[in-house]
A and B are shown apart, each in its own frame.
Chain A
Amino acid sequence: MSKAVIEVSGLHKVYEGAVPVKAVNGIDLTITEGEFTALKGPSGCGKTTLLNLLGGLDQPSSGSILIDGTDITALSDNELIDFRLHNIGFVFQAYNLIPVLSATENVSFIMLLQDRPKEERLARAEQLLKAVGLEGKEDKRPGQLSGGQQQRVAVARALASKPKFVLADEPTANLDSESTAKLLDIMEQLNAQENMTFVFATHDDRVIAKAKRVVSISDGKVIDDTAE
């Protein structure tokens, strides 16, 4: 049986205000190593909030999140940043690359933060960019790449730190069909070859169709959990 990478229990996130909003309302979820999981649901259902909580970007109102056995809700701000650096890869909807760095530098930047040697950084960046089909574009800056290419650099960056899993928030939202297909193929391939765990928040049917497990969320609750 595969090892649990993410274990969520009794998770709540309430945004206080004149009218409190229960963005996550009692979710229990376990994601094991190597899964290719899509969190689906309409806008405002709580999937991005859940992803932020899993990534340690936000603190839950109650409940626990164990990542590879570590309760990240108990970590301090600095410990969380460090934890993210070594354990979680992020792919954002708007790519979010550093505009002044080349593709290679964007990918190797996260390894620089991990204090890895320069040779290792460059070799892995080259290998990852090759893996996402960006051979020959290593020296291009984000502004010189198409949206699809930028998102592939973002995927390479997410994998560069050798994380335990990758969280992707609407990774295909800004891509055309061809770029989406290419990106999904690459992620599927990385999942198969490196046993990398992927968790997507999406309402893109093309992503959902590729997922091996689909968790449907509505009003902050899991309403369906289907595996292949």
Chain B
Amino acid sequence: MLKLAWRNIWRNKGRSIITIAAVMFCVIFAVVLRSFQVGVWENMIHEIVGNNFGYLQIHEDGFWADQSLDRTMDLGAVNSEELLAVDGVDRLIPRMESFSLLYHGSNTKGSLVMGIDPAVELPGLQLDDILLEGRSFSRDDSVIVVSEGLAKYFNVGLGDTLLFMGQGYHGATAYGAFPIGGIARMTNPELNKQLVLMPFQKAQYMYNCTDRATTLVVAIEEDADYEAVGSALKGSSAEGLEILEWKELFPEIIQTIEVDMAGGRIFVTILYFIISFVLLGTVIMMVAERQREFGILVSIGMKKTKLAFVTLLENIMLIMGGAIVGMAVVKPVQFYFKYNPIDLSGQMKEAIEQYNFEPKLYTTTSFIINLNHGTIIFFIGVLVSLYAVVKIMKLNPIESMRS
């Protein structure tokens, strides 16, 4: 039966090639589309979360909801040793994050101020890698690094001084004046417009938060699963602290991803509908051209179920072939655009930046996408092939032989 099915595939090469090509291109289009969509998000999460904010953060209980400096944590009361002993935790990165009104000349702007220790920071805040000009700072420095967009806004350069005015711990006034030691380009467009980086101790001092921090970013070991690390941390004696995963920290990212993915799913569904009709066309063509033969086979004693099985087997082989070829052919494309993302320009770039996304289109190389779409299209193909099964099961041998 397998031999018969195999040979039947090649009796009408044109039809078989159309079927294989239709499935193949559908898999390729669907996978490319979803790879870009998922790739862009993967990259954004990696950039924003992995390189800047961390997949896990520790705060004083209730801080994230309130975002008040009154809920900063006392670093002396945190059992760092126990937290560091959790499997997958590489290091704890203290940060002092708040907002300040910045002044320069007659210009003002509300900005995000981040007190950091560059020596232990995440890759996105490794100042030497992101500086456009100037220098990084050490713990004892008094200079700040401003983001490129902020420097442009104030029209300031190295050596210029920015004034800070805000609210500190327990209602204290937080103010300071810091010279600009460096200008950096942040990969995240929103941060690039408003971020000021300063030495951690200087930020503590300015906000009247000596020995305190708003955040302990948990740097996880490479290949460690942040969800597992998060669960382990929550199970440790981190009393009075909240341990939040990035999805809890930035639910708006998840919502945006879900909305975007839903749009992509609609597009892919339309693609599936198109391929369904293309495949149905080839199946109808096959049934029509072999109607007579089906009649003969049933006449000489071939059970309709067996004939339907052989016909289904033919289609399964064709569709599976197309799906496998499609899944394989698209792989190099995924790899290419993963490492050579498409740079967006013009209005498209501006539109993307408005949403604080990096204006580059990356792909993901996750094979799960290929497997998912290959499998979905395969099942669509099998479903469409049931048309032939239904026609065979209803077949009248005499009428078929007359056709």
Interface positions of A (Cβ within 8 A of B): 52, 55, 57-58, 77-78, 81-82, 84-86, 90, 92, 96, 98-101, 109-110, 113-114, 157, 161
Contacts and interface: CB of A to CB of B under 8 A. Distances in A.
B298 A92 contact: no
B194 to A, nearest CB: 71
Interface residues of B, number: 20
A220 to B, nearest CB: 17
B299 A113 contact: no
A182 B227 CA distance: 82
Contact of A100 (B8, B296, B298, B398): B8
B4 A81 contact: no
A157 B11 contact: no
Interface string B291-312: 0110011111111101000000
Contacts of B316: none
A77 B8 CA distance: 26
A228 to B, nearest CB: 30
Consensus secondary structure, chain B interface: helix
A55 B302 contact: no
A157 B300 contact: yes
Nearest to B11: A100
Contact of B298 (A58, A81, A99, A109): A81
28 contacts: A52-B398, A55-B299, A57-B299, A58-B398, A81-B301, A81-B304, A82-B301, A82-B303, A84-B299, A84-B301, A85-B301, A90-B299, A92-B296, A92-B401, A98-B4, A98-B296, A99-B11, A100-B7, A100-B8, A100-B10, A101-B4, A101-B7, A110-B300, A113-B302, A113-B303, A113-B306, A114-B301, A157-B300
A98 B301 contact: no
A194 to B, nearest CB: 19
Given A52-B398, A90-B300, A96-B401, 10 more contacts: A77-B304, A82-B303, A84-B300, A85-B300, A90-B299, A92-B401, A96-B292, A98-B296, A100-B4, A100-B7
Which 6 A/B pairs are nearest by Cβ-Cβ distance? A85-B301, A100-B7, A96-B296, A84-B301, A100-B11, A57-B398
Interface string B384-403: 00000000000001100100
Interface in B130-168: none
Interface string B329-349: 000000000000000000000
A85 B303 CA distance: 9
Contacts of A92: 296, 401
Contacts of B293: 96, 98-99
For A57, A77, A84, A100, the residue with the greatest tally of chain B CB atoms inside 10 Å of its CB is A100
Which interface residue of B293, B297, B301, B304 has the most chain A CB atoms within 10 A?
A: B301
A110 B4 CA distance: 13
Nearest to A96: B296
A98 B298 CA distance: 12
A208 B117 CA distance: 107
Nearest to B397: A57
A101 B297 CA distance: 13
A114 B8 CA distance: 21
B298 to A, nearest CB: 6
A83 to B, nearest CB: 8
B28 to A, nearest CB: 30
Contact of A78 (B8, B292, B303): B303
Contacts of B4: 98, 100-101, 109
A58 B302 CA distance: 16
Nearest to B296: A96
Contact of B301 (A52, A77, A86, A100): A86
A50 B23 CA distance: 47
Contacts of A157: 300
Nearest to A48: B398
Nearest to A99: B11
Contacts of A101: 4, 7
Given A92-B296, A96-B401, A110 B8 contact: no
Nearest to B393: A77
Interface in B269-299: 292-293, 296-299
A21 B298 CA distance: 26
A114 B292 CA distance: 22
Nearest to A97: B296
Nearest to A102: B7
A34 B362 CA distance: 79
Nearest to B303: A81
Nearest to B395: A77
B61 to A, nearest CB: 72
Contacts of B8: 100
A57 B400 CA distance: 11
